[in-house]
Structure 1
Amino acid sequence: MSDLKISYFPELENVKKAAATLKGVAALTPLLPSLNYSRKFEAKILLKREDLQQVRSYKIRGAFNKISSLSQNDRDKGIVCASAGNHAQGVAFACAKLKIKGTIFMPAPTPGQKTEQVKMFGEDYVTIVLTGDTFDDAYKAAKTECDALGKIFVHPFDDEKIIEGQATVGLEIIEQAEEEIDYVFVPVGGGGLASGLSTIFHLLSPKTKVIGVEPEGAPSMSTSIFNKENTTLRLIEKFVDGAAVQRVGDRNFAICKEYLHKMVTVPEGKVCQTILDLYNKDAIVVEPAGALTLSVLDQFADEIKGKNIVCIVSGSNNDITRTAEIKERALLYQGLKHYFIIRFPQRAGALREFLNEILGPNDDITFFEYKKKTSREDGPAVVGIEIQDSASLEPLIARMKSRKFFGEYLNDKPDLFEFLI
């Protein structure tokens, strides 16, 4: 798909106007040092806490800036948006504050915590429509409604007023920082925050390297920059729902390819580990997209040593019902959780032998599914085992094989894994 010819780049004056518009609406979020991460990486790591916004993400900035710019005629028509959650909350908040009717299309798998928040912020001014599996599905449905009813579409990222609103994050960082910032790590979904923030640093702090971070399963900006054209991904992993789009904005791509120093990706399992670490060590609750920038620091450990670093913590709209999945993904990523098809001999004492002779002293069975006895010499069971050290895996498999218990290792067979677990 060829790109639109985009010549828009945010102007500093317009970003300052957005900051004035947002005064008293968007919080001036703190830029706080992280003791844990600063020690770990021997650097000054600062967290821009956009998770502390009233709607728990930076999205209020762009949404309110855009909607407040509409003419009275456009306001009377009502607005429509599509969102995986955070933009929806920003739009809902703006609709209620400005007394504008809005219809918000969200993907059907959106965590319930986010839809409830949208209802709370929007009060009686918004209607929620759950449709499709991804943001892109919701986006198409929203555009159809706009075309049919003549309503105004508030894009979550590919819009000048949205970009200028998100760019105010960059203004605040530069004003709050006591020293020149060497690196800023910014999460990338559709590219609204990355394009606005990178523009501000290009204009006001050109020596600062702005690094965009995407989930490994949805590398839409990385792919587009590599291809030198905005590219639509056919399939994406939707776990990091706040940063999982099949196609970034055309305006956002045009800006990011010029002003981002680099685009990198992070495995979803690493993101999950960061979520747990932030909660357990710092009492900070983040959603998956909010953990992207801290998750990537390992990749830059040598480069950032002794430097001044800012990580954007973009949001905290995490559904507590996802905690089990987050822990599971983190363990799988660390190599501490493993699933097997185990072939148990059809005789008394086989399970006891497996527990006593095969498992290590600190291994724990966390999943066990055994269908029924068969007339064959052995019967399969799906077994999940949590180990204390990833180095214990190979000896464990070796013991299974030596005693004829081993059937299949499932972690590296994604289709079978998804079917059985």
Structure 2
Amino acid sequence: MEKGKTIYFPSIDNVKVAADTIKKVSAVTPLGPAFRYSKQFDANIFLKREDLQQVRSYKIRGAYNKISSLTAEESANGVVCASAGNHAQGVALSCKLLKIKGSIYMPAPTPNQKVQQVKMFGEDYIEIKLIGDTFDDANNAAMKECEELKKTFIHPFNDEKVIEGQATIGLEILEQATEPIDYVFIAIGGGGLASGLSTVFKTLSPNTKIIGVEPEGAPSMKTSIENGVNTELDEIEKFIDGAAVKRVGDLTFEICKENLHDVITVPEGKVCETILELYNKDAIVVEPAGALSISALDFYAEKIKGKNVVCVVSGSNNDITRTAEIKERALLYANLKHYFIVKFPQRAGALREFVVDILGPNDDITFFQYAKKTNRENGSAVVGIQLKTSEDLEPLISKMKQRNFFGDYLNNKPDLFQFLV
């Protein structure tokens, strides 16, 4: 931030105006008790269910508040956004409701399910343009159209009206809560929701601690705050796509730097565990970014005991085709799924010996890929094994080594793991 330059913080009055603006299109989502988590953490845990919005995420709030603020000339020129996720759906629905034409840029590899969802919300008011291989390609094309045709770019987070729209969640939580709130856990992608909500709480409930939660593989806000300057990451893990950004907003960084009590990161595998638990035990469908806030509770377990805690469930646009990967990541995180290079002696009965004498009674082969004969005595295979408990790993490795079946352990070799598995 330049010396002497005023830092923008959303005013409560502007957030209240935003709440009035969006009330016809944005549901006042429930703030309900999460009994299972409350018992698990010996705390009063509540979920703010933004996954129950019409577009199944909070993004409609900021998108509609921004687009409805345009002048008549800006509205006539139309709007542009770049997104393959929840922001695109929020912009699409806002365009249809406000009868404003919009161009929505997405990378060409975007799954058809997401494209169709955006098309459903926007109908004839939007044009979807699939450009390039990456988000950056689509974003650059979107910015070019804005410059050439004088259209308004609807940023997913680095915009005052977007921030004020997302901040309305904070007003709702405070209106719905029956007791003072000690902690609010909230996912951070670009920081629009975190900056808006944290300002509301700092003004109206200053004793509440706001904890920002990022994916372990994309800690852009945490890194920036630690560096004291908005920092772009060179590489990120994109699995939690709704919260994986290389660089947070300049506006949102300045706000979050001042307002957040803490920013923590959560491993992607832990998030996958949470997704499966919510589905299997609570019949709640969440996307990876939507599970971040709940996943963070494990890392704050001692501090939240006996406290009133709110987790914002930010969205539920989860692609069912990702279920196998989600389960795989959860098992890897729980130390229950392991991959090996196994050296099989080239003799009859070797595979039977491995199954009968080396594997434990509850071990299950889930992946088996024979590579090739490396010499006359041995042939290698990549083998995936699922264990019943993590304690079964060391005995398994010991037996493999004793009988000369052990080639290599792949879980802790990410480059080799990605190549072979």
User: Is contact 2:234–2:246 with CA below 8 Å preserved after alignment?
Assistant: yes
CA distance in structure 2 between the partners assigned to 1:379 and 1:313 by the alignment: 49
Report the residue type matching 1:417 in the other structure. Answer: F
Report the residue type matching 2:355 in the other structure. Answer: L
CA distance in structure 1 between the partners assigned to 2:214 and 2:4 by the alignment: 23
Matched residue SS, 2:73: helix
Q: Which residue pairs with 1:184 in the alignment?
A: 184
CA distance in structure 2 between the partners assigned to 1:174 and 1:239 by the alignment: 32
Q: Which residue pairs with 1:403 in the alignment?
A: 403
Q: CA offset at residue 338 of structure 1?
A: 0.4
Q: Which residue pairs with 1:193 in the alignment?
A: 193
Q: Which residue pairs with 2:369 in the alignment?
A: 369
Q: 1:221-370 maps to which residues of 2 (within 5 A)?
A: 221-370=221-370
Report the residue type matching 2:275 in the other structure. Answer: I
Q: Which residue pairs with 1:150 in the alignment?
A: 150
CA distance in structure 2 between the partners assigned to 1:246 and 1:391 by the alignment: 37
Quickly say closer, same or farther: Cα 1:408–1:391, change in 2 above 3 A.
same
User: Is contact 1:6–1:254 with CA below 8 Å preserved after alignment?
Assistant: no
Q: CA offset at residue 132 of structure 1?
A: 4.6
Q: Deviations over 1:129-158 (max 9, x none)?
A: 234555444333321221122211000000
Asked if 1:100 is matched to 2:113, the reply is no
Q: Deviations over 1:284-323 (max 9, x none)?
A: 0000000000001011111000000000000000000000
Q: Which residue pairs with 2:385 in the alignment?
A: 385
Report the residue type matching 2:408 in the other structure. Answer: E
CA distance in structure 1 between the partners assigned to 2:174 and 2:133 by the alignment: 38
Report the residue type matching 2:98 in the other structure. Answer: L
* Structure 2 stretches lacking a partner, 5+ long: none
Report the residue type matching 1:189 in the other structure. Answer: G
Q: Deviations over 1:63-117 (max 9, x none)?
A: 0000001011111111001124101000000011111111112244544433221
User: Is contact 2:371–2:382 with CA below 8 Å preserved after alignment?
Assistant: no
Q: Which residue pairs with 2:419 in the alignment?
A: 419
CA distance in structure 2 between the partners assigned to 1:329 and 1:381 by the alignment: 22
Q: CA offset at residue 375 of structure 1?
A: 4.5
Percent of aligned positions with the same letter in both sequences? 71
Q: Which residue pairs with 2:89 in the alignment?
A: 89
Quickly say closer, same or farther: Cα 1:179–1:217, change in 2 above 3 A.
same
Asked if 1:123 is matched to 2:123, the reply is yes
* Structure 1 stretches lacking a partner, 5+ long: none
Q: TM-score, normalised by structure 1?
A: 0.97
Quickly say closer, same or farther: Cα 1:340–1:171, change in 2 above 3 A.
same
Task: Please provide the CA RMSD for this pair.
Answer: 1.6
Matched residue SS, 1:354: helix
User: Is contact 1:286–1:315 with CA below 8 Å preserved after alignment?
Assistant: yes
Q: CA offset at residue 327 of structure 1?
A: 0.2
Q: Which residue pairs with 2:53 in the alignment?
A: 53
User: Is contact 1:400–1:406 with CA below 8 Å preserved after alignment?
Assistant: yes
CA distance in structure 1 between the partners assigned to 2:274 and 2:5 by the alignment: 39
Matched residue SS, 1:303: coil
User: Is contact 2:269–2:332 with CA below 8 Å preserved after alignment?
Assistant: yes
CA distance in structure 1 between the partners assigned to 2:251 and 2:175 by the alignment: 26
Q: TM-score, normalised by structure 2?
A: 0.97
CA distance in structure 1 between the partners assigned to 2:171 and 2:205 by the alignment: 10
Matched residue SS, 1:335: coil
Quickly say closer, same or farther: Cα 1:264–1:406, change in 2 above 3 A.
same
Would you say how many aligned residue pairs link Structure 1 and Structure 2? 421
Comparing 343-352 and 80-89, the one that deviates more? 80-89
Asked if 1:161 is matched to 2:166, the reply is no
Q: Deviations over 1:253-281 (max 9, x none)?
A: 00000001110000000000000000000
User: Is contact 1:341–1:383 with CA below 8 Å preserved after alignment?
Assistant: yes
Report the residue type matching 2:221 in the other structure. Answer: M
Quickly say closer, same or farther: Cα 1:224–1:137, change in 2 above 3 A.
farther
Q: Deviations over 1:40-63 (max 9, x none)?
A: 001000000000000000000000
Report the residue type matching 2:93 in the other structure. Answer: F
Q: Which residue pairs with 2:11 in the alignment?
A: 11
CA distance in structure 1 between the partners assigned to 2:32 and 2:128 by the alignment: 35
Comparing 139-148 and 107-116, the one that deviates more? 107-116
Quickly say closer, same or farther: Cα 1:97–1:88, change in 2 above 3 A.
same
CA distance in structure 1 between the partners assigned to 2:316 and 2:46 by the alignment: 17
CA distance in structure 2 between the partners assigned to 1:348 and 1:276 by the alignment: 41
Quickly say closer, same or farther: Cα 1:227–1:6, change in 2 above 3 A.
farther
